[in-house]
Amino acid sequence: MATPQATTPFVITTTAQPFEQTCQALEASIPAQGFGLLGSHDLGATLRGKGLAIAEQCRIFEVCQPHQAARVLEHDMRLNMALPCRISVYTEAGQTCIGMLSPAALLAGLSDDPALAAVAAEVEQALRAIIDTAAAAS
């Protein structure tokens, strides 16, 4: 299950699954929460392709729930810079992890609007469900 760090905005879950299987499970779990996958970026492969020695794997998934994104933008168009939401699958010291920055923490740092806080809480709950489903898939 997701284990948010009390003093940081990071939400990180570990899984016993290998990296590629976790990436596939994450992609499969996105639609069930009404989100779409806008794209993914294999950061590890990109860095290695530039000649940088990085042993760990890291793939970033950009996801969006259009109705929630529209609600955020209706409040403050500048918040487009915080969109779309990102979920990362990465390895660290032999462990596969799935993580994100807490939407609630991120938007709280950008706005004190209670309506935006409510949207962020809904989005975070859905993203946590996506992550937990992917982490539990076998």
With contact defined as beta carbons under 8 Å apart, do 130 and 31 qualify?
no
CB 122 within 8 A of CB 2: no
The structural architecture, per CATH, of the domain 3-136 is 2-Layer Sandwich (3.30)
pLDDT tens for each residue of 91-130: 999 999 999 999 999 999 999 999 999 999 999 999 999 9
Q: Which of 24, 7, 48 is nearest to 98 (CA)?
A: 24
The domain ranges of the chain are 3-136
Percent of residues in the chain assigned helix, strand, coil, to nearest 5: 50, 25, 25
Give the pLDDT confidence of 30-79 residue by residue, as tens digits.
Answer: 999 999 999 999 999 999 999 999 999 999 999 999 999 999 999 999 99
Q: Give the pTM.
A: 0.91
- Each residue's pLDDT tens digit, 79-88: 999 999 999 9
